[in-house]
Amino acid sequence: MSMDAVLRAAGLTKEVSSPEGTLTILDDVSLEIARGESVAVVGPSGSGKTTLLAILAGLDRPTRGQVWLGGEELTAMDEDGRALLRARRVGFVFQSFHLIQSLTALENVMLPLELASESRAAAVARETLANVGLAARTGHYPKQLSGGEQQRVAIARAFVMRPEVLFADEPTGNLDSATGERIGRLLFDLNAEAKTTLVLVTHERDLAGRCDRTIQIEAGKVVR
Amino acid sequence: MKVLGFALRAFRRDLRAGELSILLAAIIVAVTAMTAVGFFTDRVGGAMKDQASQVLAADLVLRSAGPISPAYLRDAQALGLETAETLSFPTVVVSGEQTTLAAIDAVSATYPLRGQLTVADTLFGNGRPAAGVPGRGEAWAEPGLLGRLGLDVGASVTLGERSLRITRVLQYKPDQNIGFVNLAPGLMVNLGDVPGFGVVKPGSRVTYHQMYAGSDALITRFREQVTKQLRPDETIRGREDAGDQINAAIDRAQRFLTLASLVTVILAAVAAAMAARRYALRHLDNIALLKTLGATQSFVIAVTVTELLFVVVLTSCVGVALGYGAQYGLAVIAAEFVGFVLPPASGQPFLLGVLTAATVVIGFALPHLISVGTTPPLRVLRKDLPPPRLSAAVTYGVALAAIGALVLTIVRDPLLLGLIAGGVVGTALVAFGLGWLLVRALSRFRGAAGVAWRYGLANIARRGGESVVQIVAFGLSLMVLLLLGVVRNDILKTWEQTVPANAPNQFMINIEPDQLAGLKAFFRAEVGTEPFSLPLIRGRLTAVNGTPIKEYKVRNAQGAAFLQREANLTWTDTLPASNVVSAGSWWGAGYAGPLQLSLDAELATNLGVKVGDDLTFNVAGEEIEAPVTSLRTIEWDSFQPNFYVVLSPGLVADLPQTYLASVYVPRDRVEMLSRLVRQFPGVTVLDLEVILSQVRSVIDKASMAVQYVFLFTLFAGVVVLLAAIQLTRDERRFESAILHTLGAARRKILQGVAVEFITLGSLAGVLAAVGATLLGWGLATYAFKLEYSVSALLWPLGLLSGALIVGITGTLATRHAVNEPPVAVLRDQ
């Protein structure tokens, strides 16, 4: 692994069994992502983008191959070990926001801080919400917010722990193009400011184009 | 600390967001129902115990043929027990030229410790509770004594060396002897007067009683302490030993009340399980998200368990408070209707409430929630990942074990538990089978009717498994409702019929054989019926198979007690109506062969005697020996004269004997009894009306209590039914929104919902009728020992009430979901 690589994968293969026999979703994928780099993972539907993201983030395990995140081998850890590593180093933004409906915007952003027993959870969360332009919406529940606002809450939640690596799965996929554009800009602005490494799965060319690098996947293989 | 803090915040937020509402409501319903029934049955049980105590006029009675050491009284008082003393003996009472044998009860000032004396100011006057006991120099006389002596209140009688003024008519005393032995009319006097009478001397036939009353714990302690020191002629008798009609009634009442608690527990547990499943499924995504954010599995599970602990605490407190309130209302209503004041409840139902909440949470919520804790974080990216599934063995095993343990703690009767479990599991199995068949068969009917019909049936068919679960839940709820509404009534009626309205109310003893014909003629003329009569021979068992009883080893204490007293024997060729021959054979009508004996089967067991054994009785100095040729099972609560020992007719007719007779005299004709007493001076008339009404009042109070308790269970059943409907609310909101979007009118959707619930309800109704029939039969036959015939109402009622209750409740409960604006609903998804 090169000195500045924060994320490295070697020989990642993911196979699942199906009625038609073994299905290979990822086929011997190896890659390195440098600290602070932004990388877009692109490819057609069903090409294995989301599976790659899940394995890189430690949400899923490969059938074969290894992943290192910040020098720690994710693939050698058990579920709880990976969870603790995520708590320290990783943030997420999802296509469908994944906000907890019963919590206010502020409480949603406080959640990772509370998991880390951060004493100033509320103050930090409030500050982060202000950074994404939602200072006036802290007491609102997700269903009282627009799609764009919900995604901004999700982004605030992802950045509030100042993660080393931010994984984003189609972050603008559920938004209209104007809102998607604004959310994309926000994501990259915050990324630049926090010097976070960004791994982005997207269909949006514009969004992919903002990244330092693009990894193209087809039928489970890196083609470019 | 991190877990505790996080769980507390999560609990608070879940509460605020209403996420826990259904689970909490279900557990609160369970706890409320359990504790309301618990508090109420605790208090009713307390009242019942008081009633049983009245039979003894105390909680514990020590009896002896000789003076009892006053040390016992001092010990009892030192423990904090109340005490009283009585002394009973037969003696002749004189009034002018008239004399009569009277049963004297000399009582201390504190008598009776339980129950009340009823007195009147004139012969056959209106009774009222007495304050205190007769004063020194006074006597309270039973009506029979006044009749015999031709006296009324105000007259004086002479007892031994003292004259006593009769100041009251004694109509009822709690420890009235319901047997038929030595029932000379009674005269109650003050214990302090006894030495002055000069009739109680060494060798006199006197029975001494010491009476004690107090809390159960103290009584138990005192009884243990005293039992070790008892002399052979001293016997001790507690409430639980009073094996008579009242005890049998109380026993049945307790079983009824227990049944009430049971069905409530089962209903509420079903709701709690469904609510827990719903809560768990709704939290899959949140748990996956928490894990994505770095929460470990052990942390998630620890938070879940801690949150459930808060659930237990909250539901216990709220449920117990509500339960206490509910039972308080019930007790007030009950007291108003039945006229008895319930004693305060003990703390036990509170523990039962906590235990219920914990049991329901551990047995029904915890497995679901812990399994959800294993949700993979990948679910945040892959919604299609199936929720983690518990094996059926774990889900049902834990639930059944928990509920079984709880139920067993309450009923402490494995047979009853088995019957209930059998009924429920049987119904569930039948329901699952039939439900599955219905779902399969529904597709055939879908094309046959309109859109609403098709939509309703499609709903059932499409939700396959869920529909079957709902049918089972509704089926179980309805089964309980039917059990309460129909079977309970049937069983209660059968139970009440065991005390016939025209049960004999006048018993006569000491009838000389040559008086019998005259007595029968008297009643024929006065009330149009002849009394039922049987000869009465007093005899003592002296040998078994030639072995003198001194050397004979009986099976147990009851057998030994029989040996120590003179037994009442009778002879007849007709098997008494309330007797069934359980071994050997009855000699039959017109039998005139060698002497034979028939014994009560229970007595035979106690004595260790079987058919074929020879028994010898001493009757007025004469030894009679006969083989036991049959054993009889006797229904003691039949209110007919019954005998442990019956002889075959023939030679025994020449033995010294008197007759006893029983007859029903309408209440407005009792004044004739004074004529009877004067016409047949030697005959002792025992007015059982007072005793019978006492027994009937106990039974009435019991059934009234049962009905109130069941009323609450009925309410719990309806609430649980609503909770079950609530479970599909989210799904229904979404479906209705889709249908609205596609252009369906609200009325159409509501019709579809109605069809669905009416169909579900009808099937559940049929299943409920099957279950209620089987369960009712099982309970009546095995638990209550009553004959039960299936009511013709049960089936139509099951079907109709299923369709109506589930149809209306389901449609109403779903109405809001159907009426929500589709845009708002679809945006939530």
Which string of DSSP letters, residue by residue, matches B632-700? EEE-GGGSS---SEEE-SSGGGGSS-EEEEEE---GGGTTHHHHHHHHSTTPEEEEHHHHHHHHHHHHH
Taking 80 as the threshold, does the pLDDT of residue A92 lie above it?
yes
Nearest CA distance, A87 vs chain B (angstrom): 4
**What residue type is B482 in one-letter code?**
L
**CB-based contacts of B444: which residues, under 8 Å, 6+ apart?**
none
Angle (nearest 5°) at CA B56 between B55 and B62: 160
Q: Determine, for residues B285 and A98 on separate chains, whether the beta-carbon distance falls below 8 Å.
A: yes
- What's the rounded Cα separation, in Å, for the pair B504 and B687? 10
B470 Cβ neighbours under 8 A, 6+ residues apart: B724, B728, B760
**What gap in Å lies between CA B84 and CA A62, rounded to an integer?**
86
Residues of chain B found within 8 Å of residue A100, distances taken between Cβ atoms? 286, 289
% of chain B surpassing 70 pLDDT: 76
Question: Residue A46: its pLDDT value, please?
Answer: 86
CB distance B427 to B479 below 8 Å: yes
- pLDDT tens-digit map of B573-603: 888 888 899 999 999 888 888 999 999 998 8
What's the CA dihedral at B291, B293, B298, B299 to 10 degrees? -130
Nearest CA in chain A to B1: A117
Between B160 and A188, residue with greater pLDDT: A188
Give every CB contact of residue B43 below 8 A, 6+ residues apart in sequence. Answer: B327, B331, B342, B343, B344, B345
Whether residue B551 is predicted with pLDDT greater than 70 in this model: the reply is yes
The DSSP element (H or E) to which A15 belongs, if any, is strand A5-18
Residue B135 has pLDDT above 90, yes or no: yes
User: Among all residues of chain A, which has the CA nearest to that of B19?
Assistant: A102
CA distance B92 to B38: 52
Q: Answer whether residue B202 shows pLDDT above 60.
A: no
- Are A54 and B13 a contacting pair at CB < 8 A? no
Distance CA B709, CA B703 (A): 10
- Residue B747 to residue B751: CA distance in whole angstroms: 6
Tell me the C-alpha to C-alpha distance, in Å, between residue B241 and each of B56, B378, B750, B800.
Answer: 10, 67, 61, 47
CB contacts of B388 in chain A (<8 Å) are none
Residue B302, H or E segment: helix B297-338
Confirm if A203 and A50 have CB atoms less than 8 A apart.
Answer: no
Please report the pLDDT score of residue A13 as a whole number: 95
> Does the bond joining A62 to the residue before it have cis omega, within 30 degrees of 0?
no
Compute φ and ψ for B175, nearest 5 degrees: -90, 35
Token pair 């039972």 is found at B327
DSSP per-residue letters across B98-161? EEEEEEEEEE-TT--SSS--EEESSTT---EEPPS-PPTTEEEE-HHHHHHHT--TT-EEEETT
Of B9, B290, B298, the CB nearest to A80: B298
Chain A residues with CB under 8 Å of a chain B CB are: 50, 53-54, 57, 59-60, 79-80, 83-88, 90, 92, 94, 98, 100-103, 107, 111-112, 114-117, 143, 157, 169
Which range has the worst mean pLDDT, A194-203, B481-490, B513-522? B481-490
State both tokens at B260. Answer: 């009430």
The C-alpha atoms of residue B224 and residue B235 are separated, in whole angstroms, by: 13
Handedness of CA A65, A70, A73, A78 (dihedral sign): negative
Most confident of B76-85, B202-211, B489-498: B76-85
For Cα atoms A145, A146, A147, give the angle at the middle one, nearest 5 degrees. Answer: 120
Chain A residue with minimum CA distance to B6: A114
Percent of chain A surpassing pLDDT 90:
41
Distance CA B173, CA B480 (A): 42
Q: How far apart are CA B278 and CA B273, in angstroms?
A: 9
Question: Would you state the pLDDT for residue A135?
Answer: 92
The DSSP 8-state label assigned to residue B240 in this structure reads G
Here the tokens at position B725 are: 């409907």
**pLDDT at site B179:** 35
Q: B216, B233, B189: which is closest to B60 by C-alpha?
A: B216
- Top-confidence residue, B727 or B123: B123
d(CA B286, CA A97): 12
Contacts of B763 (CB under 8 A, 6+ apart): B434, B435, B438, B471, B475, B802
| B292: nearest CB among A84, A86, A114 | A86
pLDDT given for residue B53 in this prediction:
62
B467 pLDDT band, cuts 50/70/90, is low
Q: Do A54 and B2 touch (CB under 8 A)?
A: no
Best of B285, B380, B381 to substitute, by most chain A Cβ atoms within 10 angstroms, is B381
CA–CA distance from B327 to each of B3, B298, B332, B340 (Å)? 38, 42, 8, 15
Contacts of B5 in chain A (CB under 8 A): 114, 117
- In a mutagenesis test of the A interface, which of B16, B293, B297 is the best target, namely the one with the most A β-carbons within 10 Å? B293
pLDDT over 70 (residue B182): no
d(CA B355, CA B361) in angstroms, rounded, equals 10
Rg (CA), chain A: 17
Query: How many Å apart are CA B29 and CA B319, to the nearest integer?
Result: 7
Check whether B388 has a pLDDT greater than 90: no
Angle between helix B794-801 and B464-482 (nearest 10): 130
Q: Give the pLDDT score at A105.
A: 92
Q: Do B378 and A54 touch (CB under 8 A)?
A: yes
CB-based contact, B4 to chain A, within 8 Å? no
Burial profile B724-744: b = 16 or more Cβ within 10 angstroms, e = fewer: bbbbbebebbbbbbebbeeeb
**Helix count (H) and strand count (E) of chain B?**
26, 22
Task: Kindly give the pairing relationship between strand A197-201 and strand A165-169.
Answer: parallel
Most confident option among B374-388, B513-527, B703-717: B513-527
Q: Is the distance from CB of B771 to CB of B425 less than 8 angstroms?
A: no
**pLDDT of res. B330:** 63
What is d(CA B587, CA B577) in angstroms, rounded to the nearest whole number? 15
- Please give the torsion angle defined by the CA atoms of residues B591, B597, B598 and B600, in that order, rounded to the nearest 10 degrees: 160
Q: Tell me: pLDDT of B44 over 80.
A: no
Stronger pLDDT, B807 or B124, i.e. the higher one? B807
Our CA-based measurement puts residue A153 at a distance from the nearest CA of chain B, in whole angstroms, of 14
Q: How far apart (Å, rounded) are the C-alpha atoms in residues B463 and B730?
A: 14
Contact check, Cβ <8 Å, A83/B291 = yes
pLDDT at B427 over 70: no
Judge contact between B156 and B163, C-beta under 8 A: yes
Structure-token pair, residue B727: 């479970």
Query: Phi/psi of residue B458, each to 5°?
Result: -60, -40
Is B413 an interface residue toward A (CB < 8 Å)?
no
CA B512 to chain centre: 42
Digit-coded pLDDT (tens) for A158-179: 989 889 999 999 888 888 888 8
Average pLDDT, chain B: 78
pLDDT confidence of A1, banded at 50, 70, 90? very low
pLDDT 10s digits, B333-374: 555 444 455 677 788 788 888 988 898 888 888 887 788 888
For residue B420, pLDDT over 80 is answered with no
